[in-house]
Chains A and B, each alone.
Chain A
Amino acid sequence: MPVETGCGTMKLKSREELIKYREEAKKQMLERSMEKTSIFVGMGTCGIAAGAREVMAAILEEVNKRNLQVNVIQTGCIGMCEQEPLVDVQRPGEDRITYRKVRPSDVPRIIVGHVMHGKIVEDLAIARFEEI
Chain B
Amino acid sequence: MHLVRAHVLVCGGTNCTSSGSQQVREAFKRELEKNKLEQEVKLVETDCHEFCETGPLVIVYPEGTFYVRVTPEDVPEIVSEHLINGRVVKRLLYKAPVDETRIPTYKQLDFYKKQCRVALRNCGSIDPEKIQEYIARGGYESLEKAIFEMTPEQVIEEVKRSGLRGRGGGGFPTGLKWEFCRRSPGDLKYLICNADEGDPGAFMDRSVLEGDPHSLIEGMAIAAYAIGCREGYIYCRAEYPLAIKRLKIAIAQAEELGLLGENILGTDFTFNLHIKEGAGAFVCGEETALMASIEGKRGMPRVRPPFPAQRGLFNKPSNINNVETYANVPVIIARGADWFAAMGTEKSKGTKVFALTGKVNNTGLVEVPMGITLREIIFEIGGGIVGGKKYKGVQIGGPSGGCIPAELMDTPVDYESLIQAGAMMGSGGLVVMDETTCMVDLARFFLNFTQAESCGKCTPCREGTKRMLEILTRICNGEGVPEDIETLERLGRVIKSTALCGLGNTAPNPVLSTLRYFRHEYEAHIFDKRCPAHVCTALLVFSIDEEKCIGCGRCLRACPVGAISGAKKEPHKIDPEKCIKCGTCFEKCNQGAVLRL
Contacts and interface: CB of A to CB of B under 8 A. Distances in A.
B101 to A, nearest CB: 6
A82 B111 CA distance: 12
A131 B122 CA distance: 9
Given A12-B257, A68-B1, A116-B7, A25 B124 contact: no
B136 A22 contact: yes
Contacts of B147: 15
Given A28-B132, A109-B9, A75 B211 contact: yes
Given A15-B144, A75-B126, A132 B106 contact: yes
Contacts, number: 205
Interface stretch (B75-83, B246-254, B418-426, B545-553): B246-254
Given A77-B124, A79-B124, A80-B362, 16 more contacts: A11-B256, A12-B257, A22-B138, A68-B1, A73-B127, A75-B123, A79-B111, A79-B120, A82-B362, A105-B13, A109-B46, A116-B1, A128-B105, A132-B107, A132-B112, A132-B117
Contact of A14 (B49, B101, B266): B266
Contacts of A18: 140, 144, 257, 259, 265
B212 A76 contact: yes
A37 B256 CA distance: 30
A55 to B, nearest CB: 13
B411 interface: no
A45 interface: yes
A13 to B, nearest CB: 4
Contact of B365 (A9, A81, A119): A81
Shortest Cβ-Cβ A-B pairs, 3 listed: A76-B211, A105-B47, A78-B124
B266 A13 contact: yes
Contact of B258 (A2, A11, A66, A116): A11
Contact of B103 (A29, A76, A86, A122): A122
Given A12-B257, A73-B127, A79 B365 contact: yes
B363 interface: yes
A113 B63 CA distance: 9
14 contacts: A3-B248, A3-B249, A13-B258, A13-B265, A79-B207, A82-B364, A109-B59, A112-B44, A113-B64, A116-B1, A120-B103, A123-B50, A127-B105, A128-B106
Contact of B61 (A15, A74, A113): A113
B304 interface: no
B116 interface: yes
B97 to A, nearest CB: 10
A44 B108 CA distance: 24
Nearest to B100: A122
A18 B49 CA distance: 48
Interface of A: 2-7, 9, 11-15, 17-19, 21-22, 25-26, 28-29, 42, 44-46, 48, 66, 68-69, 73-83, 86, 97-98, 103-106, 108-109, 112-113, 116-120, 122-123, 125-132
A9 B257 contact: yes
Contact of A48 (B44, B101, B242): B242
Interface in B189-244: 203, 206-207, 210-212, 240, 242-243
A81 B203 CA distance: 11
A78 B259 CA distance: 27
Nearest to B104: A127
B203 A45 contact: yes
A26 B259 CA distance: 18
Contacts of A98: 106
Contact of B127 (A25, A74, A77): A74
Contacts of A118: 62
Contacts of B125: 75, 78, 131
Contacts of A22: 135-136, 138, 140-141
Nearest to A26: B136
Interface residues of B, number: 78
Contact of B49 (A26, A79, A109): A109
A120 to B, nearest CB: 7
B437 interface: no
Contacts of B111: 79-80
B48 to A, nearest CB: 6
B478 to A, nearest CB: 37
Contacts of B109: 126-127
A45 B136 contact: no
Contacts of A108: 9, 44, 46-47
Nearest to B50: A123
Q: Which of B126, B130, B131, B132 has the most CB of A within 10 A?
A: B132
A89 to B, nearest CB: 12
Interface in B481-511: none
Contacts of A17: 265
Contacts of B7: 112, 116-117
Contacts of B468: none
A119 B144 contact: no
B406 to A, nearest CB: 23
A106 B132 CA distance: 31
A25 B256 contact: no
A86 B123 CA distance: 13
Contacts of B107: 130, 132
Contacts of B117: 131-132
B366 interface: yes
B60 to A, nearest CB: 10
B133 interface: yes
B62 A25 contact: no
A64 to B, nearest CB: 14
Nearest to A42: B124
Contact of A74 (B2, B106, B129, B364): B129
Contact of B207 (A9, A15, A44, A113): A44
Contacts of A129: 105-106
B115 interface: yes
B211 to A, nearest CB: 2
Contact of A76 (B61, B108, B124, B266): B124
Interface string B507-546: 0000000000000000000000000000000000000000
Contacts of B259: 12, 18
Contacts of B248: 3
Contacts of A13: 258, 265-266
B128 interface: yes
B1 A5 contact: no
B266 A25 contact: no
